[in-house]
């Protein structure tokens, strides 16, 4: 009975394909255009093929066959929905990453967004002269301030630095060396030739993202638990 049904379906598909071939120049098949009829024929052929494979694999086991079919239907729907909403899902993924990974930046071209960490700070992962550097937003710092380790990673010439500027840190007053950073990038925000300071060893645990960078931007604001940075177009 199953074999006879399969042959009948295949014969029907063969007739449909024959009709489609004879009308390949355009026109319609009943209420359907040739293109729509061809798509329907392809879909039916795929359904018959998959159904035949399921019947062959699970002959005599109807429950298992139905379960397997449902699983594949769910997988197919998930793939279709995921592809259709891929851009929205990417935004959701960025927000999840921002919550789970301190310093993760959500970038929207020349605008970026950073989530506040559990300790109340805004940790930012920046690229300084191509090196990834962890920083903390500090609006009270008049300049970007780098630890010696961050300055070394950024390729600054530590051996010729002159610690001529006095700065206040959490450990008290110390001296720092003025430098000029070739490039600071936070997500899609890129600023060049930025003034900065390098503190002496052991004076800071984390580099500071200060006003010498923030003043370059079109705007910046703290909105709830989000830091929003916007560069000029």
How is the chain split into domains, by residue range? 2-84, 103-230
147 closest CA partner among 79, 87, 96, 196: 196
Tokens 């998930």 correspond to what residue? 78
Give the 3-state secondary structure of residue 133.
strand
What are 204-218's pLDDT values in tens digits?
A: 889 999 999 999 999
Give the 3-state secondary structure of residue 194.
strand
Establish how many alpha carbons lie within 13 A of residue 197's alpha carbon, considering only the half-sphere containing its beta carbon.
Answer: 26
103-230 has which fold? Answer: Cathepsin D, subunit A; domain 1 (2.40.70)
Q: Is the confidence at residue 16, as pLDDT, over 80?
A: no
223 vs 46, residue with greater confidence: 223
Cα gap 79→84, rounded to integer Å? 9
Cα gap 118→182, rounded to integer Å? 32
- Which pLDDT value is given to residue 134? 92
- Which pLDDT value is given to residue 221? 94
Cα gap 158→144, rounded to integer Å? 17
What are 93-149's pLDDT values in tens digits?
A: 455 554 555 557 788 888 999 888 888 889 999 999 999 999 999 998 999 999 999
Q: Is the confidence at residue 18, as pLDDT, over 90?
A: no
Cα gap 102→118, rounded to integer Å? 9
What are the structure tokens assigned to 80, written together? 């279709």
């Amino acid at each position: 009975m199953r074999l006879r049904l399969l042959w009948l379906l295949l014969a029907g598909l063969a007739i449909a394909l024959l009709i489609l071939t004879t009308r390949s120049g355009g026109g319609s098949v009943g209420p359907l255009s040739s293109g729509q009829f061809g798509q329907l024929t392809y879909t039916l052929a795929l359904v018959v093929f998959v159904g035949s494979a399921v019947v062959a694999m699970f002959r005599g086991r109807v429950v298992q066959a139905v379960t397997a079919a449902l699983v594949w239907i769910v997988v197919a729907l998930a793939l279709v929905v995921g592809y259709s909403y891929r851009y929205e899902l990417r935004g959701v993924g960025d927000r999840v990453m921002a919550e789970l990974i301190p310093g993760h930046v959500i970038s929207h071209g020349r605008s970026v967004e950073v989530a506040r960490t559990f300790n109340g700070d805004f940790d930012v992962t920046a690229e300084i002269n191509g090196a990834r550097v962890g920083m903390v937003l500090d609006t009270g710092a008049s300049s970007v301030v780098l630890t010696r380790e961050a300055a070394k990673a950024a390729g600054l010439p530590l051996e010729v630095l002159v610690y001529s500027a006095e700065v206040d840190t959490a450990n008290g007053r110390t001296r720092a060396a003025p430098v000029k950073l070739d490039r600071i990038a936070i997500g899609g925000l890129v600023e060049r030739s930025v003034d900065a300071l390098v503190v002496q060893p052991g004076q800071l645990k984390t580099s500071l993202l200060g006003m010498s960078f923030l003043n370059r931007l079109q705007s910046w604001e703290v909105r709830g638990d989000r830091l929003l940075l916007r560069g000029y177009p």
